[in-house]
Structure 1
């Protein structure tokens, strides 16, 4: 077991908690840092950053939803003697162009690339688990997920593969230096094609309905989302409809030595956990 400390920034989030658990199981000393955890960390309160980074060798970074703070944290990490950064970002970020979606992730990538530290970037496509949680859970449970998504496929990745990949990279210093891994599922599915096996496995009459981006934003606001937050998620669908991130890669196998989990496997696990029922 290594005595090097890995800090997970955002350790109680959807991805962070999975990565943290895997590192602990491997025997890696982990400092789980988050706003609600035992080690307080807040992207917008720099006064606590130095304490979180003290004695750390490696930092796993899930960027905040705004551009900027990662630059400052990376500078603090360098000053604190951190040697490695592993950043979680979005699939195909180099091809997002002028999209209003993703400035937070692109800013974080710029911060990591601009550092002198050993760095690895993991770019994941949309998670299969999004269908069992926000923002897709309520519409499928109601039977008619209304999304601004059409015929362009999305290579949904199982979140467990993302967490496995992050844990592997974090546990293998030197082996992934300078790499950018595009992590996707084994094949692309349209949202309608993804909903179909959910309907069959669950026995629920679920059918995808396409709506306009403006209609989707308005629906989210009616459900209690803030206007900016709703518009940001809508812009993700606008970007996906361009097709620039519809491609698949084999880099889950490169990192893990095995094929990515299938969407159908996710559906079976989620159905057993009754993820589709309100």
Structure 2
């Protein structure tokens, strides 16, 4: 990695999230001045409050952009267009955007941010392994049953550490400006195979329960999600797992010069760390 020797200031949006805290830690280790933006942190940044964007971006050289709830969500293109204007007005020189692999709606949001004129790198990621240890499917692992509208479609699950390493490379190396990196893990696994892998690592039975998208939307509502959010999330997951993403890329190896981490190693390490106790 060829790094800029200037001690840059980087805003990390959603710095308390799965990817944000990993990016912030890596940047700090490299000697960057990190602004860890979050709704309740010292550097306030809230995607629902545009007035928080300018102060967080002021004086920053670069920013990691992780839009919540998802770049394919309704309203994301408008938010990206507005954020890009604020970033450009603040003098930010580089943006690195987390996007979803195989999400047409996310591509629209990517273009909206690119229209700002600020140097942009897009990193499109497949389904995170950490969704089973830190995210929406964590509770299912604990109960021994993972309900999800994934069917029997295989997915090249990506380790969040690999993603964070690529994001940091894009933030610190000018050679990534203008590029789109598409990242996957090294192996295609169905959700049923994932459940078996986790069960083997934990020593407990874990089963995958396939559910239709509309049923999953109802489950999300029972957990307190608004009806509109539940419906688009269920539709997103169903679309992502219709088979069009059932392939691997060499994105991680191209950027980092090594192979991405495998799910078996992830499950073993997560179990050993007590993630599912």
Q: TM-score, normalised by structure 1?
A: 0.91
Find out whether 1:31 has 2:35 as its counterpart. yes
Find out whether 1:7 has 2:11 as its counterpart. yes
* Cα shift at 1:276: 2.6
In 2, distance between residues paired with 1:28 and 1:82? 15
Please show how residues 1-278 of structure 1 align to structure 2 within 5 Å: 1-65=5-69, 66-67=75-76, 68-93=78-103, 96=104, 103=105, 105-172=106-173, 174-277=174-277
Q: Which runs of 5+ in 2 are unaligned?
A: 70-74
In 2, distance between residues paired with 1:142 and 1:166? 33
In 1, distance between residues paired with 2:143 and 2:16? 28
In 1, distance between residues paired with 2:165 and 2:272? 22
In 1, distance between residues paired with 2:49 and 2:6? 30
In 1, distance between residues paired with 2:134 and 2:235? 19
202 and 31 in structure 1: CA distance in 2 versus 1, 3 angstrom threshold: same
* Cα shift at 1:107: 4.3
* SS of residue paired to 1:134: coil
Cα deviation per residue 1:23-50 (whole Å; 9 max; x = unaligned)? Answer: 0001111111121110111222222322
Cα deviation per residue 1:182-208 (whole Å; 9 max; x = unaligned)? Answer: 010001111001111111111111121
* SS of residue paired to 1:175: helix
In 2, distance between residues paired with 1:52 and 1:211? 41
Q: TM-score, normalised by structure 2?
A: 0.91
In 1, distance between residues paired with 2:114 and 2:51? 24
1:100 maps to: none
Does the 8 A contact of 2:151 with 2:211 survive in 1? no
* SS of residue paired to 2:10: strand
In 2, distance between residues paired with 1:11 and 1:199? 31
Q: Which runs of 5+ in 1 are unaligned?
A: 97-102
1:99 maps to: none
Q: Which deviates more from structure 2 when the two are superposed, residues 144-153 or residues 15-24?
A: 144-153
* Cα shift at 1:9: 1.6
* Cα shift at 1:176: 0.6
Cα deviation per residue 1:235-254 (whole Å; 9 max; x = unaligned)? Answer: 12211232112221011011
205 and 121 in structure 1: CA distance in 2 versus 1, 3 angstrom threshold: same
